[in-house]
Amino acid sequence: MMWDQIAEQISQATGERFQISDRRSVSGGCINQGYQISNGSRHYFIKLNQASEFAMFEAEALGVEQMWETQTIRVPKPICWGTVGNSAYLVLEWLELGGKNHPSAWEEMGQKLALLHQWTPAPNYPGYQKFGWEINNTIGSTLQINTWKNSWAEFWQEHRIGYQLKLAQRRGGNFEQGEKLLNKIPDILGDYHPKPSLVHGDLWGGNASVTSEGKPVIFDPATYFGDREVDLAMTELFGGFPAAFYQGYDQIFPLESGYERRKILYNLYHILNHFNLFGGGYGTQANQMIREILR
């Protein structure tokens, strides 16, 4: 019954009748269940979770939709999302992946990401020239606060590092220099005034790939308007992207001086979040990063 209702929603969203003839389980990440469904000619990717997680899917869909509308870098087009019984679902365009070893695709990915970062919304956009986003979303399964701010330093201090440190304290984390770091953020970022860019927000290697046709694609975003460097920093966090990616990005939108120091502050957000999600050695890593930033 659930699958029939989802098929009906796809039919309404696309204007073409869709009936599922094939359904198979695929990876949906560590948080959701994933499925490929097909009627023999059209294929879709479906994420499923508890109905209580609908807001997470809605925020992801709106983020992917906004990135799609920029017509810069490829993302899987969102089709529809909603709840059926006890389940929340998100239906996305199905993309055949598998061209990761295509060097020119990674150069193109860097170029296209730079174009996304250069994209500017219309002046009547509610958060025009501000940092944040229309709604809160999630980073992994952690709430991500996106309340609009005029100051990038204030946004990063309050909504990113400050919020994660509060969560870490509740979890029993010991970050002795956390308060000192928070107070230092306005100095670290004070003379740096980035343009608000639409960022992916969670751009590690698992959320970027190349289609079987050799086209770069990014997915599973934690979208907001922030410093474009947060995306570049995270690509370096868990092993780095191919060199061609950074060369491609630099051709379009070279980084400003000071990035090497700022990227540690930006990646601290993700390491603190990993501590809050998984515990373990991420606390030690976060403390090492805090000491390095304060040096």
User: Beta 197-199 vs 224-226: how paired, if at all?
Assistant: antiparallel
In a domain, 238, yes or no: yes
Report residue 179 CA to chain centroid gap: 27
Among 41, 60, 93, residue at a domain's last position: 93
- With bands split at pLDDT 50, 70 and 90, how would you rate the model's confidence at 20? very high
What CATH number has the domain bearing residue 42? 3.30.200.20
Helices (H) and strands (E) in the chain, counts: 10, 11
Task: Find where tokens 């220099």 sit.
Answer: 177
Looking at 93, 116, 149, the residue that finishes a domain is 93
Question: Structurally, how many domains does the chain consist of?
Answer: 2
Residue 13 falls within a domain, yes or no?
A: yes
Containing structural domain, residue 86: 2-93
Indicate whether 280 pLDDT > 90. Answer: no
pLDDT single digits (tens) 184-233? 999 999 899 999 999 999 999 999 999 988 999 999 999 999 999 999 99
80 domain residue, yes or no: yes
Task: List, by residue number, the catalytic residues.
Answer: 202
DSSP secondary structure letter of residue 162: I
- Does residue 237 sit in the same domain as residue 270? yes
Do both 87 and 189 map to the same domain? no
Identity of the amino acid at 262 = R
Same domain, 282 and 243: yes
For position 243, which CATH number holds?
3.90.1200.10
Distance separating alpha carbons of residues 232 and 249, to the nearest angstrom:
9
Same domain for 108 and 212? yes
pTM: 0.95
Q: What would the mean pLDDT of 257-284 be, rounded to a whole number?
A: 96
